[in-house]
Amino acid sequence: MRRNKRLPHIKIISHRGASGHRPEHTLASYALGARYGGDFIEVDLVATKDGHLIARHEPEIGHSTDVASRPEFADRRRTLTIDGEEVTGFFAQDFTLAEIRTLRAVERLPEVRPYSAEHDGEYGIPTLEEIIDLAVELTAELGRPIGIYPETKHPAYHESVGLELEPPLVRLLRERGLSGPEPRVPVFLQSFEADSLRKLRELEVPLVFLMGAREPWLPYTTPGGLAEVASFADAIGPVKSLVVPVTDEGTLGDPTSLVADAHEAGLLVHPYTFRSENHFLPPALRSGDDPTAYGSFAAEYEAFFAAGVDGVFTDHSRHAFLAREVFLEQG
């Protein structure tokens, strides 16, 4: 696989699909994200009791499905410690795929996205196989590549309970022709855990090291740390504040050196997560007090595009697409 190769234009990564418009991680959300201009379907992967990879934001599925309202599963509610944090709810690892297929997706943030919550109960929980099939179908339908961008969620935890994520992921991508330098559709694989990426290197597809704004990721944001990242990954996915911080006054500050330093190390930069509602925007970009209303999202995109990022994770692919079109026309 060739390294140090910049992509031809800024990639729009539909974060959990068009999750600003439909309940996240549903086939409807993924399809809408692509039709709104997204280049990649972003997928969070967790494992079922019988080892199948399904799309959910976390192993805990009580906030994104109707499982809590299903009396037949009431006894599945329990408390687990995942990566040092106690979590109470319902967990994918306690359900077979057949049981998961009886559940329906719901909006995880109904107070911010009531329009999405209107679609509660309409969609099921997809498997990775179904998402790959959708990406292939959308590529043919739209006449442009629609890739997949799966994340291994809490991979060390999954391994500790006997449900290692990487072997079934490697096997499935190979079976579906999504490994090597010329996959059927474009592929990025992502994780917050370096060990997970090292296990996936054999697939010879681009790997993305996700970075938060605290330990244990901060040491990797230095030039020396980025050089180390380049030994096991091809890109970084930093939280937005590591690229363009928000000032104490609530405005966007000057870009840090992270993009330039990452490019110097041969790494692409795909920051997360862009959202258009006032609730998520810096105070200076909000349009008022209504948390559900859209603010000046285009200004945020422009700042990051000007900083030289190679792609963006977004809940609103159409807004990212339009902002990219304006930016490219201007520059």
Task: Select from 160, 266, 282, 159 the least CA-distant residue to 209.
Answer: 266
Task: Select from 106, 96, 99 the least CA-distant residue to 47.
Answer: 96
Q: How crowded is residue 272: how many other Cβ atoms within 10 Å of its Cβ?
A: 22
Q: What confidence score (pLDDT) does residue 1 get?
A: 34
Rounded average pLDDT over 107-124: 97
As a whole number of Å, the CA-based R_g of the chain is 19
Q: What confidence score (pLDDT) does residue 5 get?
A: 43
Domain chopping of the chain, boundaries: 11-58+127-330
Bond preceding residue 292 cis, omega within 30 of 0: no
pLDDT at 112 over 70: yes
3-state secondary structure of 320: helix
- With beta carbons less than 8 A apart as the criterion, state whether 155 and 190 touch: no
Taking only the tens place, the pLDDT of each residue in 255-280 is 999 999 999 999 999 999 999 999 99
For residue 229, count CB atoms less than 10 angstroms from its CB and return exposed for 0-12, middle for 13-18, buried for 19 or more: buried
3-state secondary structure of 46: strand
- Widest CA span of the chain, in angstroms? 58
Name, in order, each residue with C-beta under 8 angstroms of 249's C-beta and a sequence gap of 6 or more.
Answer: 284
Q: Which CATH class is domain 11-58+127-330?
A: alpha beta
Please state the separation of Cα 322 from the chain's center in Å. Answer: 20
pLDDT at 203 over 80: yes
Q: What confidence score (pLDDT) does residue 269 get?
A: 98
Taking only the tens place, the pLDDT of each residue in 215-268 is 999 999 999 999 999 999 999 999 999 999 999 999 999 999 999 999 999 999
Taking only the tens place, the pLDDT of each residue in 15-26 is 999 999 999 999
At 3, the pLDDT band (50, 70, 90 cuts) reads very low
Taking only the tens place, the pLDDT of each residue in 157-191 is 999 999 999 999 999 999 999 999 999 999 999 99
Beta strands in 24-103 (DSSP E): 40-47, 53-55, 78-82, 85-89
At 4, the pLDDT band (50, 70, 90 cuts) reads very low
Bond preceding residue 168 cis, omega within 30 of 0: no
Rounded average pLDDT over 105-127: 97
At 84, the pLDDT band (50, 70, 90 cuts) reads very high
Cα dihedral 157, 158, 162, 168 in deg (nearest 10):
-150
Q: How crowded is residue 72: how many other Cβ atoms within 10 Å of its Cβ?
A: 9
What is the rounded average pLDDT for all residues in the chain? 96
Q: What confidence score (pLDDT) does residue 330 get?
A: 87
Alpha-carbon distance of 176 to 136, in angstroms, equals: 10
Rounded average pLDDT over 151-158: 98
Task: Select from 223, 224, 196, 200 the least CA-distant residue to 210.
Answer: 196
Alpha-carbon distance of 193 to 223, in angstroms, equals: 19
Task: Select from 45, 2, 37 the least CA-distant residue to 21.
Answer: 37
Phi-psi region of 266 (alpha: psi -120 to 50; beta: other; left: phi over 0): left
Locate 329 and state its tokens. Answer: 């026309």
Percent over 90 (pLDDT), the chain:
96
Name, in order, each residue with C-beta under 8 angstroms of 5's C-beta and a sequence gap of 6 or more.
Answer: none
At 7, the pLDDT band (50, 70, 90 cuts) reads very low
Q: What confidence score (pLDDT) does residue 9 get?
A: 82
